[in-house]
Amino acid sequence: MTGGTGDMFDFSTVQDKKIADRVFAEAKEFLSLCHFGLQGITRTEDDVIKIVEKLKETRMAPLAFDTEMQFVPLVRELFSDYCCKVRLHCAVSYPMGRLVSDSKMHALDRLRTMEVDDVCVCLDWQAIFSGRYKDVEKEAARIVDEFQNDFYRVALVIPATLMSDTQIIETCRALDEAGTVSVKVNPGAALGVSFEEVALIKRMFPNRFDIHPSGNIRTLSDVLRYREMGCNNIHTAAALEITDDFIVKKLKEYGGI
């Protein structure tokens, strides 16, 4: 079955086992560079259970599974018998970054104590749009200094779609001064990344940031283009459907279907 059906491709239908094994391995690697999961304050335990079971049916693992802090124990238990190791990811001050810095630090400390693997932190939109870039730098430096080495990745999130080119550049300059490694471009939440935003950051700060595109990434061509641009950490709620399309594409290339 192809993307959009809710089910992954059935590899048992491929007669050539070598081709099936090769494509499965490539698909597993493909998904391992995507974030996937379920976030939002309206999500329920039943929602989380359903999406975890859907992932487990693939016998693959994303780069990280995105979840809310309150669901971390549940998700960890659901993956306890899984064939693959799955990193857990949580967002802090999502999506507008309006928690005060002390609250963000407290949340990060709690996630560290809970042994969550991977985090992103939304910067204060008001500081960005007010041009208070020194405040952005100060907050970013505080987070980086305390937590950069305690998680797989600590990404700082900017609402690039709502920002001018100048605001993007000045914010990234502040993050550069703070020693930031990873920048997530848009929080999702109806704000979709664009190729132009990623290209701007790469052009102005070459080889400086690990850029995480996020929001409105819905097709295989989107993911492939971001990877061509050097992005190896892509957030998409459609990761499983896109991986399914990748499987079908590869099987056609190799003569498996």
Residues in the chain: 257
| Residues 139, 124 contacting (CB under 8 angstroms) | yes
Class of the CATH-defined domain 96-217: alpha beta
| Residues 143, 102 contacting (CB under 8 angstroms) | no
- The whole-angstrom distance between residue 250's C-alpha and the CA centroid of its chain comes to 24
Identity (one letter) of the amino acid at 171?
T
Tell me what pLDDT residue 4 has: 39
pLDDT value at 2 more than 50 = no
pLDDT value at 6 more than 60 = no
**pLDDT, tens only, 160-218:** 999 999 999 999 999 999 999 999 999 987 899 999 999 999 999 999 999 999 999 99
**pLDDT, tens only, 50-100:** 999 999 999 999 999 999 999 999 999 999 999 999 999 999 999 889 999
**pLDDT, tens only, 136-159:** 999 999 999 999 999 999 999 999
Interacting residues of 36 by C-beta distance below 8 A, sequence separation 6+? 55, 62, 65, 66, 236, 237, 239, 240
Interacting residues of 255 by C-beta distance below 8 A, sequence separation 6+? 16, 19
**CB atoms near residue 84 (< 10 Å):** 15
pLDDT value at 5 more than 50 = no
**Six token digits for residue 123:** 């910067």
Token pair 């990623």 in the structure block, residue? 198
- What is the rounded distance in angstroms from the CA atom of residue 122 to the CA atom of residue 120? 7
Using a cut of 0.85, tell me whether the model's pTM lies above it.
yes
**Six token digits for residue 220:** 């295989």
Reduce the DSSP state of residue 186 to 3 states and report it. Answer: coil
**pLDDT, tens only, 233-255:** 999 999 999 999 999 999 999 99
- What is the rounded distance in angstroms from the CA atom of residue 14 to the CA atom of residue 78? 30
What is each CA distance from 203 to 198, 199, 207, 209, 218, in whole angstroms? 9, 6, 9, 11, 25
pLDDT value at 256 more than 80 = no
Q: Where are the domains of the chain?
A: 1-86+237-257, 96-217
Tell me what pLDDT residue 42 has: 86
**pLDDT, tens only, 27-41:** 999 999 999 999 888
Tell me what pLDDT residue 1 has: 35
Helical ranges in 131-191 per DSSP H: 133-147, 165-177
